[in-house]
Structure 1
């Protein structure tokens, strides 16, 4: 039985905004799977006639390729909110049956309650407006707490993700997870250096750990972490990376590719990406041809892109804690560098770096050419990015695959992407 939990210090202050939420997660493009038990509980209980009709419309069985974790799906798509969502922005299912009537994903989001190597870990996703507000207000940065669980919490479901201690036998790098977390979070929160440099230095650690993992040098991995935690030599590494020049065209084109995932999404996602293109001077054009010659071409004005990035840097002055908190929170929440266990340490690091780069790219496109940006627009863009890209294993793998197949895979190339 768990007796303690590791969590960020904002966790206890989170509460759902319910009907007051502007970025309601029940209106977005989501893939919400239901287990067989959840499906039976949802459909087997007595409901009002209105709710029964809505559930028939909004919950569909998986008839082919059924998995234990995907017996059915709640249908939410572009222009199609959840059928159980009331006009007041509240869930009719929860109104009638209480919180326990919901499936685990709907019960917990944006909370992530996980068990990592025998330790309870919980946090919240930045794919939620209320969480972004909490991170925005934490100017001193996130602190982490190791707290005793209250008696009524000890037997609660901890979520649908667990990495058990036994997995250390098949993935020996997991033995050093806590040291990796302490080192990388410490680097990301070290405000002696600009955040892009910190992200690159954290990526540098993951690059070396990935090399040691591929060579199965577990003793070397332990020695590297021990030495680096004791004497990280950040000043020398920071000076090295700060001296590297920006190569913005590569970052721009790469992030335009990532943005294609928003073009086919909800109306809000499409509006966001169109705004980014317009403000950063990006145009897409159809290319005739076959094979690699077919598809979309990208035309861009590098000077307008750089102006947008400069506007973002100006707006972030005195607000640098926002992106720091977002990336530290995601690193912790996703159990980096083991977010996707099908990928190696470095491949997970590649996604982390790419996410940071794409976040800055989109926010640069939200900055108006004159005046201050609307905070609600900035917050909405952040919510969209984290909701879209950090809750889809398929999108993560797609981004990493694109980078690897296009030769953007070395630490130096990640630095180019990170600098934007």
Structure 2
């Protein structure tokens, strides 16, 4: 059976490069198995050597549909990864017995009211290589095609019942028009586009809250907003918004360190943190305070060399000059693949704040990890590593959602200070 599918024009070009993959996806993950996957796999073991590996490879793990996960080795790698960087489950019993997590990645599929959307996760190095080839930006296509069983099984479902219980999902398609219409306007740098996107989402959020939103009103507003922003006659009007903007990156630095250093303890994350610390002389003191009858609170004291940080910003600007579309493509695909602004609970404004925070952390880490003479491969490595941490880590996303729920400072001005 064929379905209507929305996907990037390069989607069908993706092929896993197997043992040639340098930054392997089989590490630092929660690789979950359902009860049925676990039983099927156990039943089909053929060799005693594999059985011994199997017996020590799993632990109980309850989240979503999963009941087991693979324990990682001392290098945070999957225990079924062989010396050639290939999957021994695949070799022992075929691809059909791999975890759904492994079969689907890096494909991210959504089934929305009778149609499929298929994007690619930017934690995969080969996906980033494809994105760097799209000099004119990401183009989406609507095609009629077969959808694989793996794409179907791994799809997040947004059906009629979900739409009924949350009015946000009525605007699923409209927000793609908004994201692409704003974030692909190259007359402005990407941080400025993020601020403009925030202006539109803030207005729509107000419409939703005061009861003036309906599909026609939101659709009309988005189209008018996108048309206005892309009208060259309005360039001065929008550019003037950023005349006195603070572009020092101070708030971005503090925010990034608090979020990222407080998240996953994956080996690659720690290596990146060490590089950042050395580049701009970061020194952190974390004071934990207890109050009677209250939970503990943490007070971060962060010191860094401001001049070295400003030099790092200049070096990154030199590196990315003429290649700014790399940032655009990576972030746009990342947002689409992760279903923003519908990823988190709490409404579209909360989701926008998450988008701005994730972008600001990506920008901060690019700035501190890439030098003037860095290579395309360096960009691919760091981007895939940041993405594993920021988009794919359950710890990071949980921490981010928790912080956004607790803070009172998620204004558009605060977001602008993060992304500019």
TM-score, normalised to structure 2, is: 0.90
Task: Please list the CA deviations of residues 332-391 of structure 1 after superposition, one character each: whole Å capped at 9, or x if unmatched.
Answer: 212221112x231011111111111111100111123xx501433322211111111212
Counterparts of 1:261-272 in structure 2 under 5 Å?
Answer: 261=262, 265-272=265-272
Task: Please list the CA deviations of residues 238-270 of structure 1 after superposition, one character each: whole Å capped at 9, or x if unmatched.
Answer: 3243224215322211111122146x5232221
The whole-number CA distance in structure 2 between the counterparts of 1:15 and 1:128 is 11
Aligned residue for 2:224? Answer: 227
The whole-number CA distance in structure 1 between the counterparts of 2:360 and 2:343 is 18
Is there any run of 5+ residues in structure 1 with no aligned partner, and where? Answer: none
Aligned alpha-carbon RMSD (Å): 2.4
Task: Please list the CA deviations of residues 66-90 of structure 1 after superposition, one character each: whole Å capped at 9, or x if unmatched.
Answer: 4561211122366232111111110
- The total of aligned residue pairs comes to 410
Moved more, 388-397 or 324-333: 388-397
Aligned residue for 1:398? Answer: 399
Secondary structure of 1:89's aligned partner: coil
Moved more, 86-95 or 47-56: 47-56
Do the aligned partners of residues 78 and 204 (structure 1) sit closer, same or farther apart at CA in structure 2, a change above 3 Å counting? farther
Do the aligned partners of residues 411 and 307 (structure 1) sit closer, same or farther apart at CA in structure 2, a change above 3 Å counting? same
Do the aligned partners of residues 19 and 172 (structure 1) sit closer, same or farther apart at CA in structure 2, a change above 3 Å counting? same
Moved more, 170-179 or 374-383: 374-383
TM-score, normalised to structure 1, is: 0.90
Q: How far is 1:319 from its partner?
A: 0.4
Is residue 33 of structure 1 aligned with residue 32 of structure 2?
yes
Secondary structure of 1:71's aligned partner: strand
The whole-number CA distance in structure 1 between the counterparts of 2:63 and 2:190 is 41
Do the aligned partners of residues 80 and 396 (structure 1) sit closer, same or farther apart at CA in structure 2, a change above 3 Å counting? closer
Counterparts of 1:190-339 in structure 2 under 5 Å?
Answer: 190-219=185-214, 220-232=217-229, 235=235, 238-246=238-246, 248-261=249-262, 265-287=265-287, 290=290, 296-339=300-343
Aligned residue for 1:379? Answer: 380
Is there any run of 5+ residues in structure 2 with no aligned partner, and where? Answer: none
Q: Is the 1:35–1:68 contact (alpha carbons within 8 Å) kept by the matching residues of 2?
A: no
Q: Is the 1:312–1:367 contact (alpha carbons within 8 Å) kept by the matching residues of 2?
A: yes
Do the aligned partners of residues 212 and 393 (structure 1) sit closer, same or farther apart at CA in structure 2, a change above 3 Å counting? farther
Do the aligned partners of residues 314 and 400 (structure 1) sit closer, same or farther apart at CA in structure 2, a change above 3 Å counting? farther
